[in-house]
Structure 1
Amino acid sequence: MGVVKTDEWLKKDSNPIKICQELKAYFHRMNEREIHHYLNEFGMYKRVSKPYIQQMIKYNVWGRVRQFFNDLKAKWQGPDIPIFIFPVDESSGLLSRDFRGKSGVSFRDKLFMFLSKEVGDEELKTVLTHEYHHICRLSMHEKKEEHYTLIDAIILEGLAEHAVCETVGEQALTVWVKKYSPGQLNRWWNLWIKPNQLVKRDDPKYVQLLFGKAFYPHMLGYALGYHIVRTYHKTHKLNIKETFTIPVDQIVAFYENQFKNQ
């Protein structure tokens, strides 16, 4: 299916609630306001001006994503899914500071990208690579997303960021993957993550540890996931297609053995 013509939707009416009416067929048992609230948590805009949309069209955001997606899908032999592109919520300090004005969220059967009006090619490729890697890995496993444990999610994020490093370049990595030292991450693994690695989404600790909320370090799960995956990669030299199928337990067991030997 590829890139959906959401630019046409936005030109007709950019009201995000009306936009989300178009998405109801893709979200079971959710109304347009619930869909917008959910997508806004991942970066979808709350309001946007016509000149902003015109700038996105001028910079051919939809066409560039379409080209990058077709290239990536052919290279990875991944599934053909719909991609929805919308303006990013520029009022979010987190998105401006840590995500450099771009964000995304993926599901097994669809992908959303939230982008600034002058987003560069590297930022486009970074979001697309990270989120499409999720889709490729999810498509290779029967386990439903609602049954994913904390460690499943941590390794999923680490593998996706590894794909960004290998596909786009180390300079494209998110800021938090280099924020903490290996020693810090090892301590936090033993102190917080390992005892809670099997909690599921309905447990408050799942979100707290994955995103570093409450008193936990910012984006803890993401940073640790990348550290664990890269520790494995240094010895085993993972190629991208292997990262779609490699078991979580295999990566974690190797990481723990390395830590024990330090």
Structure 2
Amino acid sequence: METDLLFTQGFDLPGFASYPLLETTAGRRQLRAYYEDLIALARDKDVGAILEAPTWVANRDRGAQIGYEPATLVERNTQAVAFLSEICADHDDVPVLTSGNVGPRADAYAPTEQMNAAQAEAYHIEQINVLAQAGIHLISAYTIAYTEEAIGIVNAARQCGVPVVVAFTVETDGRLPTGVSLGQAIKAVDNATDGYSAYFMINCAHPDHFQHVLSDASWMARLKGLVVNASRCSHAELDQSTKLDDGDPVELGQQLAALHRNYPNIRVLGGCCGTDMRHMAEIASAFQGGKLVP
């Protein structure tokens, strides 16, 4: 959503933050359009939808970088949940989950200052508790680059009594930015948290970057979602990009359909950098009632 807002919708997103859009009529209108388009697609294809709150960088450190005080961040996180709940109430004919989107404390692509698990739990519980108290259905930790931060987020969610999903990002070699393999990361988080995560995902990577690491290994049973980039660019290339690379929506849908066919437990699909509703429609067109179209 954020890359589309920046590059094609003309919105300014300081610090890549979309939650400030909640403060204006135009911003709220644009956010609502995204969510209602997704619900309409889910209705048409007879599947469910997960609505991600615009709160990926609505944490203390990332908020401070663009001038937001902790008290204001509490308001925006709470407001985001109320906004999603209002939209869900308007479309109660479609199964919809609201997700509190939580991002890394620092740069996901270059996690040079890493926390230990206890530090990560203490840091992230501030935002997660606000989202949980506001009535969010689940927490989704996106673009997580190292296991200790993931462990801290999962433990924070457990303390707050809310389900949690962890989405790791990987580089073009299919490994986390720290060099850890995806399987090792998933097993480490599960071992340290008694398997509390509802499931794991991969996000902010093109299928070409990770499909070669998927296998019949036991950890694959815990991988149930792919939220992918349209672009084949590396993270470093995306950081330097001045124009949107929207890839090939049809090809992307076909790639995800093939991955689902090979690994049927992967049933949560979505778009990350460079994607828009064209990509979502192509992805969803391969699924009717939760099954692949022949």
TM-score by length of 1: 0.28
User: Counting strand residues as a fraction of each chain, which structure ranks higher?
Assistant: 2
Q: Taking structure 2 as the reference length, what is the TM-score of the superposition? A: 0.26
